[in-house]
């Protein structure tokens, strides 16, 4: 009897809960309804990677004041964003009016977003880094406005570099003054010098490909594919860059094959490495209670025979063809260009316009900006190849190849194998 009463009670509670939940489910608890279905409204939904949300918050506030366009952010984790974009673009039914796309995704979604040529005025093209202007242009049309960009620079332990004993010892051993490295040779020497007493000169990242690709650019070759989409991964520059990359393994913490961005950042912030080649934003994200807080210096990415070169990591604001709110969406994209410097005051602290970086470069706390500008303007700096297969090439060929290389594999053989695999993927 009591069991039946309990069941009846539970059923009643369940029924009430369901009724309440069903009644509430019409709107959910996250905010107003999506506007992409209602044409001509002044509210735009902006799909953005979680880390980039803060970058655009200031822009959204200013845009509301100036144009009356209200912004809802749809925040998604980076790893899931590509799937979501693929799903919505392929269905032709999008829940957002603006999408912030990683540069590597632009070729994949070029047919799903509309041209925004009118926003790329001559003045705008002058104020955006050349590599980004080139990348934003697909098949003769500009399809994405860079919202913020990044590149790897050198972060080093200023305290160690300025130490009198270290300076004297380094001078005695290598015959030149200890300073932030500008060339491959200097990077190798300094890495070797600081690898002692439980500390390492640098890290070697076997789990990510961008850093090695930057060295390829510095060695004077386009990355992996040339302008005509020929696979050039087995040329001399790629081998030279790979040999340089693996030469640092002896001066880096063990397990290089598994080291990725997060691991390298942790090692540096823990004071385990004297230098790191890392994305510029990391300078402003060093924890205040870190062993290296206040002791870090910055320098442009090192140069190879072709000069300073880095791989930019920009995000582009795009307007889907499927949105019914294109006018308001384009207004927001224009705001993002006009108020690009607003992003610099966010946690990430990045922008895309040269003038925005220059506005802050001499202010305390923004010491990473000058090296970043220099790297992004570097002679050898270039964006990744514009192929839809790029992510697949990275995941299935480049990273596994690097992991084998840092574990002692023969570079020429590995590059020749990689060439065959990439050609197979591109067929």
Partner 1 sequence: MRVAERTTHDAGTPARAGAVPSVPAAVVPLRRRRGTNREGLEAGRRSTRTLLWVLLAAAMVLYGFPFLYLLFTSFKTPIDTIAVPPTILPKEWTLENYANALGRSGVPASFINSIQTAIISTVLSLVLAVPAAYGITRYKTLSGRIFIMAALVTRMVPPVAIGIPLASMMASMGLADTPIALSIAHTTISLPLSIWLMSSFFEAVPKDLEEAATVDGCSRLGALWRVVIPVVSGGIAVTAIFAFLASWNEFLFALLMTAIRSQTTPVVIANFQTQFGLDWGSMTALAAVYSIPVILLTLLLQRRIVAGMTLGAVKG
Q: Does 24 bind partner 1 (CB under 8 A)?
A: yes
User: 3-class DSSP state for residue 290?
Assistant: coil
Binding mask 108-127 for partner 1 (x = CB under 8 A): --------------------
Q: Does 128 bind partner 1 (CB under 8 A)?
A: no
Q: Does 31 bind partner 1 (CB under 8 A)?
A: yes
21: tokens are: 């939940």
Among 356, 334, 359, 354, residue whose Cα is nearest residue 62: 334
Q: Does 39 bind partner 1 (CB under 8 A)?
A: no
Q: Does 285 bind partner 1 (CB under 8 A)?
A: yes
The correct pick among 9, 32, 134, 395 for binding partner 1 (CB under 8 A) is 32
140: tokens are: 């003769």
The correct pick among 90, 175, 177, 227 for binding partner 1 (CB under 8 A) is 90
Largest CA distance in the chain: 93
Strand-pair partners of 271: none
In the complex, minimum distance from the CB of residue 234 to partner 1, in angstroms, rounded to a whole number: 30
Q: Does 93 bind partner 1 (CB under 8 A)?
A: yes
The correct pick among 4, 165, 228, 427 for binding partner 1 (CB under 8 A) is 4
In the complex, minimum distance from the CB of residue 54 to partner 1, in angstroms, rounded to a whole number: 10
Angle between helical axes of 184-194 and 164-174 (0-180°, round to 10): 120
Q: Does 392 bind partner 1 (CB under 8 A)?
A: no
Binding span for partner 1 by CB under 8 A among 31-39, 109-117, 155-163, 419-427: 31-39
Q: Does 254 bind partner 1 (CB under 8 A)?
A: no
CA distance 425 to 388: 11
CA distance 123 to 112: 27
Burial class (CB in 10 A: 0-12, 13-18, 19+), 118: exposed
Could you list the beta-strand ranges (E) of 143-204.
145-148, 152-157
Q: Does 305 bind partner 1 (CB under 8 A)?
A: no
Q: Does 262 bind partner 1 (CB under 8 A)?
A: yes
Burial class (CB in 10 A: 0-12, 13-18, 19+), 34: middle
> Do 384 and 105 form a contact (C-beta atoms < 8 A)?
no
Among 331, 247, 248, residue whose Cα is nearest residue 71: 331
78: tokens are: 């980076």
The correct pick among 84, 141, 250, 324 for binding partner 1 (CB under 8 A) is 84
* DSSP state letter for 229: -
In the complex, minimum distance from the CB of residue 184 to partner 1, in angstroms, rounded to a whole number: 27
Residues binding partner 1 (CB under 8 A): 3-4, 6-7, 14-15, 17-18, 21-22, 24-34, 45, 47, 49-52, 72-80, 83-84, 86-88, 90-91, 93, 95-96, 102, 150, 262, 265-267, 269-270, 272, 279, 281-282, 285, 287-291, 313, 348
């Amino acid at each position: 009897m009591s069991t039946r009463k309990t069941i009846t009670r539970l059923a009643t509670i369940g029924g009430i809960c369901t009724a309440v939940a069903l009644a509430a489910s019409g709107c959910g608890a996250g905010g107003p309804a999506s506007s992409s279905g209602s044409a001509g409204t002044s509210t735009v939904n902006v799909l953005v990677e979680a880390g980039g949300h803060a970058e655009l918050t200031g822009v959204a506030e200013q845009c509301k004041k100036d144009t009356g366009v209200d912004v809802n952010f749809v925040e998604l984790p980076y790893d899931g964003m590509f799937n979501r974009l693929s799903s919505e673009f392929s269905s032709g039914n999008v829940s957002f009016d603006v999408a912030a796309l990683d540069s590597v995704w632009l070729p994949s979604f070029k047919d799903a977003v509309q041209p925004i040529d009118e926003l790329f005025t001559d003045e705008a093209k002058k104020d955006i880094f050349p590599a980004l202007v080139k990348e934003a242009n697909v098949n003769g049309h500009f399809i994405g406005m860079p919202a913020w960009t990044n590149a790897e620079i050198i972060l080093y332990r200023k305290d160690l570099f300025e130490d009198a004993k270290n300076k004297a010892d380094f001078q005695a051993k290598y015959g030149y003054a200890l300073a932030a490295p500008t060339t491959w040779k200097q990077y190798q020497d300094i890495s070797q010098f600081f690898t002692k007493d439980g500390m390492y000169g640098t890290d070697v990242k076997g789990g990510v490909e961008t850093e090695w690709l930057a060295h390829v650019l510095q060695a004077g070759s386009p990355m992996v594919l040339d302008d005509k989409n020929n696979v050039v991964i087995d040329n001399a520059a790629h081998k030279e860059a790979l040999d340089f990359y693996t030469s640092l393994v002896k001066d880096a913490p063990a397990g290089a094959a598994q080291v990725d961005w997060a691991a390298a950042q942790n090692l540096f912030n823990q004071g385990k490495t004297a230098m790191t080649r890392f994305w510029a934003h990391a300078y402003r994200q060093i924890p205040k209670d870190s062993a290296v807080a206040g002791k870090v210096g910055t320098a442009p990415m090192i140069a190879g025979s072709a000069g300073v070169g880095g791989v930019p990591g920009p995000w582009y604001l795009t307007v889907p063809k499927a949105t019914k709110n294109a006018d308001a969406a384009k207004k927001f994209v224009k705001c993002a260009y006009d108020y690009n410097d607003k992003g610099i005051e966010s946690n990430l602290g990045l922008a895309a316009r040269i003038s925005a970086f220059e506005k802050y470069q001499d202010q305390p706390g923004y010491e990473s900006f000058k090296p970043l500008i220099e790297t992004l303007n570097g002679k050898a700096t270039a964006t990744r190849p514009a192929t839809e297969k790029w992510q697949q090439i990275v995941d299935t060929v480049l990273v596994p190849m690097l992991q084998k290389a840092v574990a002692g594999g023969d570079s020429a053989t590995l590059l020749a194998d990689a060439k065959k695999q990439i050609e197979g993927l591109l067929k």
